[in-house]
Structures are given as structure tokens and as C-alpha cells.
Chain A
Amino acid sequence: MTEIMTEKTEDLKIEAPIVEKYKLQTRDVNVYYGDFQAIKDVSMNIKPRSITAFIGPSGCGKSTFLRLFNRMNDYIEDFKMEGKIKIDDNNIYKNKIQLEQLRKDVGMVFQKPNPFPKSIFENVAYGLKIQGIKDKKLIADRVEKALVQADLWNEVKDNLNKSALTLSGGQQQRLCIARTLAVEPSIILMDEPTSALDPISTAKIEELIHHLKKDYTIIIVTHNMQQASRISDYTAFFYMGELIEFDKTKKIFTNPEKKRTENYITGRFG
């Protein structure tokens, strides 16, 4: 016990100013798939309760980088990572870290809506049930709260026992967001969450993301420049595994430092 305490205070001494300011920090991160280097020396600080957009041409490593934060790349057989990633005060690539604990805190929404072939209710309750929560009332409350937060409650409240697969694509994606929210994470990762959806569903989800910002730190990968400029506070531009530029979204879209960034956002390449 005392050992852990001293370790913690030491950590605080060195990193205190940074720790309070940033929710997520990466330092000199390199990622390899076998011999291929997908991420090159990326360092980044992300503030709490902000929306950060990752943009860049296809294959530049946005998904790879995003999936580092909940260690979703760990299942890839020849994946290797170097460097440091800290969420709050914890190095999430330390051996001692509990993957399950990390993922409760760092939720993820995927490109294609991927509800379980279960009922709407069971989809949202899943994350709670696997934590061993048995209290029916508590589960029902949290499911309702999450569906309300995801702006889906009014559409499904009379059909909670219907299969999630009967919902439209946009509804399914909001269900996936609700499912993530039910676990009460502090960070939500979104990998092109609207790329499989129609414009109206997309607008709904963008609005939802905007509302979620007051409680969550959100990182979103997108190929849609308008989307990035509409919803994000910060934008990171990646190119061939490198972080080319990372700044306030306004700055990136009006007055980028780097020529490459400018070319990309004005559509001259990529």
C-alpha cells in the first residue's frame, strides 16, 4: 500500500501540471504491423471534454492510432507498439493494467453499426451485465438514461424487446452509442461513425456528439472535412503514419501551418 502511494506522489510531482490539464497524452508512439511501420513518433495531448477529429488520407493510420487508446489492436497477431500513452494518470500499456477496466473507461463506436443480434434492451444492458450488475431496476434505469442520452428513447421505448437488427442504420448507430454510454466511460472513440449513414442520420449523430461533449472526451475519425470543421474543437492531420499538424480546428481549417495540411483540407490531394 505505502509503496503504491509513494509511486503515485512521485508521479504527481513530475507530471502534475500536465496531468491536470490533459485527459489523454501520447509520447513518441510508434506502431508496427510486422515490418511495416504504421505510426511514426506521434506525441499528442488531448484535453478533457473536448472533441478531437483525426483526419488524413486513407491508410495514414487514423484507425490504428485511435484503437491504441482502448488497446483494440492487441488482438492483431503481429502488432507491436512503442512509446507511452497515458489516460488520466495511468500508462495504459503497462503490463499491470486491466484491459477490461480500461475499456469500461474508454468506449468505442465503430464505422459500421454493429449491434448484437439481441433485443434493443439487451444490447444496452450488455455492458452492465458483464460487470456483474444484477439489480434489475438499476439496469433498467441505466438503459433508459443511455437511450435518452443517445436520443433514441422516444423511438424505441415501446419496443425495447424487439431485435436490434430491425432498426434502421442510423438508429442502430445511435443504439451502439447508447450501448457505449451505458457503461459510463469518460472517453468515447469513434471511427468514422457516420460513414455508413444517410445525411439525416448523420446530422442527428453530429448533434448528439455535440451534446455529449459536456460530459465526455470524444475523439472521432472522419473523412468528411465539413464534419470535422463543424463538430470538433481540435483537429489532427495524419499523413503516412505521421502527425503533420495538430491544433484548434478553426486554425487548421482557416490558417494551417503546413502546406500539406492546406492541400489536404482544400481537396488538392488525398
Chain B
Amino acid sequence: MRKIKELIIEKSLLSSALVTIAVTVGIILVLAIEAFLFFKEVSFFDFLTDTQWTPLFTEKHYGILPLLSGTLLTTFIAISVALPIGLSISIYLSEYAPRSFRKTIKPLLELLAAVPSVVYGFFALVVVTPYLQQFMPSLSGFNSLSAGIVMGIMIIPFVSSLSEDALFAVPKALREASYGMGATRLQTAFKVVVPAASSGIIVSIILAISRAIGETMIVAIAAGQQPRLTLDPTVPVETITAYIVQVSLGDVQHGSLEYRTIFAAGITLFVFTFLLNTVSFRIRKKYREKYE
């Protein structure tokens, strides 16, 4: 009787693992097939080099560059905000803050990532943009600047929390060696602790980038929906994710070329996040070895 019970439990655990894998494989397969069908009609070269993305207009262009530039621009702005703030927080918490303070502030910071991103998107649109317009009258109502800044705030805990773990894991003996030679706390933090934790910090940054690239609501709400190949942060742009939302919610016909553009955009996004995850996985593996 017990044997049968154990067998059932074991098999159901196994099957849930298999289901997860199957779903993932299924998603990738659908992505690949639909993208393949897309590329039968649109040349891969045009996709990568055309500077316009207008699949829904009468004059159709299928260049991914405008969407890609929108994604990279908002991501870049977000990281420019999250990196200095997140890193400063992590260094402060690990090297300066009393232990009790560290314990209370860390979960509070992680709350930032728990706020629904639609709230952030709205915040960017109705608070940050009008505020910035006071200093930058030329700023459009939709723009990558506010979206990027707010997204940066959202991903601060990705940088600060993981970096702090990496900094805190640096052996005390290294800090003592540095203090023992007359180094200040600041010198010790930047010349010994940060370099020793660099792989962990890099992983945290990659994960934050990965999160920013995949973020949808904030950019869909606040950055606009105009595919535009530009590095100007004050004008409306469209990111890959925002485009996918736009078309998914619209009434394009199932199986049409317009419909397949979603998958072409989706696979581009997938390639990026997949690469970033692989790199961070590699670094993390190496770094685990170093401390063991």
C-alpha cells in the first residue's frame, strides 16, 4: 500500500517536471515555427536592416531596428538609474550599515520590485512626465525618458539585493587585511570588496538588464507606441514588448503576416534574454567555484 503511494507521488512529481519542460519546449517551438513562416515572406536581411517598422500600415516595412532601439534605449536609461543607486545601496548596506538596519531595509527595498508594473507605468505617465516637462518643455507626453527612469527605480532591488549578497559574501579576512594596512572603509570597499565580488555584481546587473528588456507595462503605457529609430529620449518610441501588446490586443487576423510579426519580434526578444541568462549562468557557476 505504502509502496503504491510512494510510486504515485514520485510519478506525479516527475510528470509536473515533464509538463514544465514540455510547456517551455512548446512555447519555443511555436515561436520558432511562426517566426519561420514569417521569414518565408520577409527577408531576414530586410528584417535586420530596414529602418522602419510599419506592418500595420498600407506601406509595409518589417525592420526590427526601430523596436530594438526603443527597447535598448529604455533599458539603457533604466540601467543608468538603477546601477549607481543600486550599487551605492548595496555597498552602504554591506560595508557601513549596522547589521540590524541591514536586516530591516533589505526586505523593504525588495518591495519596490513587488509593486505591479502597471502602477509604475501610470506613475511615469501622470507624475514623472509632467514633472520633467517643467524643466524640459520639449518633452513629449509619451517618451522613453520617464519610462526608463521609472523602470530603473523598479529594478533597483535586482541590482542592490544581489550585489549586496555578493559583497557580504566576501571573506572578513580580506577586509581585515585591508584595514590592517591603513586603508579606510571607502578604500577597502572599492579596492578590495567590490573587485572580489565583481562576478556577483555583474550577474546582478545582467539580471536587471534582462528584466528591463522584458518589461512591458511601463513602456507600453508611458513610452508611447510609435516605432521610431532614434536615440532621442524625449520623443515617443515603441519597444518590442509594447509592440507585442499592441498587436495582441488589436484585431489582426490569426495566421496573417501581421499576426506573425508578433512572433518575429518575440523571438528577437527571446534571443536577447536567452543570451543574457546564459552569460549570467556561466558567471555564476564560475563564481560559486571560486568560493568553494
> Is B one of A's binding partners?
yes
> Using a CB–CB distance below 8 Å, which chain A residues touch chain B?
70, 72, 75, 77, 99-104, 107-108, 110, 112, 114-118, 126-127, 129-131, 176, 179-180, 183
Tell me which of B99, B174, B180, B191 contacts A108 (CB under 8 A).
Answer: B180
The docked-state distance in angstroms from the alpha carbon of A116 to that of B171 is: 10
The docked-state distance in angstroms from the alpha carbon of A102 to that of B183 is: 11
A-B contact pairs, 29 of them (CB 8 A): A72-B179, A75-B179, A77-B98, A99-B182, A100-B182, A100-B183, A100-B184, A102-B182, A103-B181, A107-B180, A107-B181, A108-B180, A110-B173, A114-B171, A114-B174, A114-B177, A115-B177, A116-B177, A117-B174, A118-B195, A126-B191, A127-B182, A127-B183, A130-B182, A130-B183, A130-B187, A176-B177, A179-B177, A180-B181
- Say if the beta carbon of B202 comes within 8 Å of chain A: no
Asked whether B180 lies within 8 Å of A72 as measured between CB atoms, the reply is yes
Asked whether B173 lies within 8 Å of A114 as measured between CB atoms, the reply is yes
CB distance from B198 to the nearest CB of A (A): 9
The docked-state distance in angstroms from the alpha carbon of A117 to that of B184 is: 19
Asked whether A114 lies within 8 Å of B176 as measured between CB atoms, the reply is yes
CB distance from A244 to the nearest CB of B (A): 28
- Say if the beta carbon of B192 comes within 8 Å of chain A: yes
**CB neighbors of A among B195-252 (8 A):** 195-196
Taking A101-B182, A117-B196 as known contacts, 15 extra A-B pairs with beta carbons closer than 8 A to each other, sorted by chain A number, are A70-B180, A77-B98, A100-B184, A102-B182, A103-B179, A103-B180, A110-B173, A110-B177, A114-B176, A126-B183, A127-B182, A127-B183, A130-B182, A130-B183, A130-B187
Asked whether B99 lies within 8 Å of A77 as measured between CB atoms, the reply is yes
- Say if the beta carbon of B178 comes within 8 Å of chain A: yes
> Using a CB–CB distance below 8 Å, which chain B residues touch chain A?
98-99, 171, 173-174, 176-184, 187, 191-192, 195-196
Q: Which residues of B contact A130 (CB under 8 A)?
A: 178, 181-184, 187, 191
Q: Which residues of B contact A131 (CB under 8 A)?
A: 182
CB distance from A185 to the nearest CB of B (A): 9
Asked whether A126 lies within 8 Å of B173 as measured between CB atoms, the reply is no
Asked whether A179 lies within 8 Å of B176 as measured between CB atoms, the reply is no
Asked whether B99 lies within 8 Å of A183 as measured between CB atoms, the reply is no
The docked-state distance in angstroms from the alpha carbon of A101 to that of B286 is: 38
Asked whether B182 lies within 8 Å of A104 as measured between CB atoms, the reply is yes
The docked-state distance in angstroms from the alpha carbon of A107 to that of B176 is: 11
CB distance from B45 to the nearest CB of A (A): 46
Tell me which of A75, A77, A104, A117 contacts B181 (CB under 8 A).
Answer: A104
Asked whether B192 lies within 8 Å of A116 as measured between CB atoms, the reply is yes
CB distance from B195 to the nearest CB of A (A): 7
Q: Which residues of A contact B183 (CB under 8 A)?
A: 100, 126-127, 130
Asked whether A110 lies within 8 Å of B179 as measured between CB atoms, the reply is no
The docked-state distance in angstroms from the alpha carbon of A176 to that of B177 is: 9
Asked whether A110 lies within 8 Å of B195 as measured between CB atoms, the reply is no
CB distance from A210 to the nearest CB of B (A): 22
CB distance from A102 to the nearest CB of B (A): 8
